[in-house]
Structure 1
Amino acid sequence: MSNDQPAITASELTKTFDDDAVVDGIDLTVDQGSVYGFLGPNGAGKTTTMRMLTTLTTPTSGDAAILGTSVGDRDGVRSRVGYLPEEPPVFDELTGREQLRYFARLRDLPPEPAADRIETWLDRFDLTDDADRRLDDYSKGMRQKIGLIQALLHEPAVVFLDEPTSGLDPRAARTVINAIDDLTDNGQTVFLSTHILSVVEELADTVGVLYEGELVAEGAPSELTAAAEAGADSTLEDVFLSVTTESSTAATAVADSNAGEVAGETDAAATER
């Protein structure tokens, strides 16, 4: 596959429930080896978007693709993506190690490399001593780590992470942030949804802000903060508040203004990594 093939594309991607557009015709292009920070208030449609991109929810209209494979081809996409939902799917009656072995079998990983990867990740996330405890005895943060390992175990080309540092203490959160950074160093792509804006500012190459189902702002963090016109010390939080508290018309105007600035810098941004 060509190295210039986008990791994620979406065209007029839409999902309606009872005639209500939860995701309303969004367009996306995410380069390989990059981190895309996906922001928006609760109820904006972020999780629905991620579920469509990972084939768990069928779009009402529009299309999306992972490395050129349409999300309509569920088997073709499945092997290329890893997904950590906000609530990791685990079985309480299993131990941490049993859960990961089970997931490795679901991903058709050969036993020996699977065992090596499991032990490596357990050690990295400081779970080795607790790996043989049942998951119903795990804290929220520990369950979150197991869920993240599941998402990464088969070394997917594209990783979707929904609030990956939720429930983690600062030290554990830093370990997760460093792991995400390492993924892109290995050429993997990360689609990151989180309310912790400092994480997005640190990691993201591109940020998209979803509001009422529409992508109302998109660009590199520095470009978005410059467009916020909140002074030299403006932050991603200023951008977020600006485009999610104004009317949809005003928010779209901000996005259109920023799009003009970004268009002239596309080639440079594409070669950053």
Structure 2
Amino acid sequence: MIEIKNLKKSYGRFEALKGIDIFLDEGEIYILLGSNGAGKTTLIKILTGLLSPSSGTAKINGKSARNIKDIRAKFGYMPEHPDLYERLTGEEFLHMMGSLKGVEEDRLVEKIHKLSQELEIERDLNKEIGSYSKGMKQKILFINAVINDPPNLILDEPTNSLDPRFSQDIKSRIKDLSSRGKCILMSTHITPVAEDIADRVGIIEKGRLVAEGTVSELKRETDSDNLEQVFIEVVNHA
């Protein structure tokens, strides 16, 4: 469960977030849709404990995101622009991160093998991450986010840099995780991705949540044929 109340973030006189309210329950896929610079990544960094809000609250399973020790095991995080250990191999990185998250050794080895095989990156696990393409790094980051089977997932632009086949695979996995009760908050600027998998969509523009609802509700309210038209209509009138 993820709960965000009246969340604000300012940098001097610039307001990056202007009072955001979002609630996600178990098994829900909530897509935060917005242009680059709209505030999506700022919100996600606060929720994952990487930034402190100016005011308001962000909670994961009832625990404040200000106290990272309380929430660390409660979510998996996939950043858009990661700082990876480029000299580690993919396998070394995943083993290190899984161990830090408390995954038992036998289970960890099994999960690394299974997930890397399914994402067709198993043959590259013995190579240094610095040699990986952006798409390969995205796959490693997705495996890292789910490796300890957390109840909540926070995914920042997870389909960026993936070819259409693997983008579809990641979307299918997100749907499967949701069906198993995972609470998923995902940001994207790609409207077809949001339309494919969202239970609800929140459109963020200039730090404000300017529209929220199911895809059907948003299309009906704006008399639009698709989510791209919804987005353009809402943002133009924000």
Q: Same fold (TM over 0.5)?
A: yes
> Does 2:171 match 1:177?
yes
Tell me how far 1:31 sits from its aligned partner: 1.3
1:12-27 to 2 correspondences below 5 Å: 12-27=6-21
Counterpart residue number, 1:255: none
Contact 1:13–1:23 (CA under 8 A) maintained in structure 2: yes
Counterpart residue number, 1:237: 228
TM-score (norm 2): 0.97
Amino acid at match of 2:229: D
Aligned-partner Cα distance in 2 for 1:187–1:195:
25
Query: Which SS does the other structure have where 1:43 is aligned?
Result: coil
CA deviations 1:6-61 (Å, max 9, x no partner) are: x1111111111112110011111111111001011111110000111111111110
Aligned-partner Cα distance in 2 for 1:175–1:40:
23
Amino acid at match of 1:154: N
Aligned-partner Cα distance in 1 for 2:68–2:122:
34
Query: Which SS does the other structure have where 2:212 is aligned?
Result: strand
- RMSD over aligned CA atoms reads 1.1
Aligned-partner Cα distance in 2 for 1:229–1:185:
30
TM-score (norm 1): 0.85
Gaps of 5+ in 2: none
Percent identity between matched residues is 38
Tell me how far 1:64 sits from its aligned partner: 1.5
Counterpart residue number, 1:45: 39
Amino acid at match of 1:47: T
After superposing the two structures, state which structure 1 stretch, 9-18 or 104-113, moved more. Answer: 104-113
Query: Which SS does the other structure have where 1:21 is aligned?
Result: strand
Tell me how far 1:130 sits from its aligned partner: 1.1
Counterpart residue number, 1:264: none
Aligned-partner Cα distance in 2 for 1:169–1:88:
19
> Does 2:118 match 1:124?
yes
Contact 1:89–1:147 (CA under 8 A) maintained in structure 2: no
Aligned length: 238
Counterpart residue number, 2:137: 143
Aligned-partner Cα distance in 2 for 1:195–1:158:
21
Tell me how far 1:128 sits from its aligned partner: 1.0
Contact 1:90–1:147 (CA under 8 A) maintained in structure 2: no
Tell me how far 1:110 sits from its aligned partner: 1.6
1:31-180 to 2 correspondences below 5 Å: 31-180=25-174
Counterpart residue number, 2:217: 223
Aligned-partner Cα distance in 1 for 2:212–2:90:
38
> Does 2:183 match 1:189?
yes
